[in-house]
């Protein structure tokens, strides 16, 4: 039984799948390079994932599972988990199209139906990292990781979340909401997101046995163009302030 926030987010992602992600997925699966975020910052320049060959990987909130696909191509054994059936159906179609099969699990990332200590790496790219209660999903990530395992996740930057209007529109050059209210953010258009401050992330990671390895604050590259569908920032804004936070943490042994 999922809670009301998860149910709202599931409905939101059925809409988004029909509107955008189903059509976009094939292009994302075809990409050679792993990139991060709205402005496609190359993983090769950051080295956050490291060598994933031979690793058991769980992606929490995998959506159309293109990140898992990239990891599978690099020799990992990914499992994609998502609450939304439409997103997983798109992922399944891409698996058949690209001949790259790995398990897809329909479940809530806040209550992961797998045994303790069976993954080496947990990843979330705008998945559980945005849409789930951090106290719940980070605890689940810690439970399913083997000692010494890693957690890598991408989410909106704190600054962009403080600066986007309630109704549609791009981030402004002023703060539009109190940081104290970012923990749980309910958007008027539907959907509930969780945007802890940096201090809160450090607290929740530490409370679950993780040691923070790095926090990369992602900016738009000089030649970036403003995103068309996820239109929360202009390229100009994101060249000046970080639009995303990419965290890496390791579970203590």
Nearest approach, Cβ of residue 36 and ligand SAM (Å):
10
Least Å distance between CB 9 and ligand SAM? 4
User: Cα angle vertex 151, ends 234, 120, to 5°?
Assistant: 140
Regarding beta strands 184-186 and 192-194, do their DSSP bridges make them parallel or antiparallel, or are they unpaired?
A: antiparallel
CB of residue 63 vs ligand SAM: minimum separation in angstroms?
Answer: 2
Closer residue to ligand SAM in complex, CB, 111/217: 111
Nearer to ligand SAM, 6 or 160 (CB): 6
8 A C-beta contact, residue 110 and residue 212: no
CB of 54 to ligand SAM, least distance (A): 23
Nearer to ligand SAM, 184 or 240 (CB): 184
Q: Which one, 196 or 252, has the nearer CB to ligand SAM?
A: 196
Burial label for 79, CB within 10 Å (0-12, 13-18, 19+), is: buried
SS3 of residue 233 by DSSP = coil
Contact status, residue 101 vs residue 91, Cβ threshold 8 Å? no
Backbone angles phi, psi at 212, to 5 degrees: -70, 130
What is the C-alpha to C-alpha distance for residues 145 and 142, in angstroms, rounded to an integer? Answer: 5
> Where on the chain is the footprint of ligand SAM (CB under 6 A)?
6, 9, 13, 21, 61, 63-64, 67, 82-84, 87, 108-110, 125-128, 131-132
Q: Rounded to the nearest whole angstrom, what is the least distance from the CB of residue 132 to ligand SAM in the complex?
A: 5
Tell me the torsion sign for CA atoms 95, 14, 1, 63. positive
When CB distances to ligand SAM are compared, the closest residue is 63
Nearest residue (CB) to ligand SAM, 14 versus 179: 14
């Amino acid at each position: 039984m999922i809670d009301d926030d998860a149910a709202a987010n599931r409905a939101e992602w059925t809409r988004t799948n029909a509107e955008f992600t189903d059509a976009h997925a094939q292009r994302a699966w075809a990409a050679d390079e792993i990139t991060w975020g709205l402005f496609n910052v190359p993983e090769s320049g950051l080295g956050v994932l490291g060598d994933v060959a031979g690793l058991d990987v769980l992606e929490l909130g995998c959506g159309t599972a293109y990140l898992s696909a990239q990891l599978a191509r690099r020799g990992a054994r990914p499992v994609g988990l998502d609450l939304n059936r439409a997103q997983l159906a798109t992922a399944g179609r891409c698996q058949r199209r690209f001949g790259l099969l790995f398990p897809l699990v329909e479940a809530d990332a806040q209550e992961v139906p797998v045994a303790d200590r069976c993954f080496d790496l947990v990843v979330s790219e705008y998945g559980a990292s945005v849409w789930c209660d951090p106290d719940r999903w980070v605890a689940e990530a810690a439970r399913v990781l083997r000692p010494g395992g890693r957690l890598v996740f991408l989410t909106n930057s704190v600054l962009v979340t403080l600066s986007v209007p309630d109704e549609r529109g791009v981030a402004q050059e002023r703060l539009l909401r109190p940081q104290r209210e970012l923990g749980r953010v309910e958007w008027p258009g539907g959907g509930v997101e969780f945007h802890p401050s940096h201090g809160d992330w450090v607290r929740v990671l530490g409370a679950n046995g993780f040691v923070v390895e790095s926090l990369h604050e992602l900016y738009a590259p000089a030649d970036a163009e403003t995103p068309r569908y996820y239109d929360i920032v202009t390229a100009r804004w994101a060249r000046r302030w970080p639009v995303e936070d990419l965290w890496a943490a390791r579970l203590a042994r």
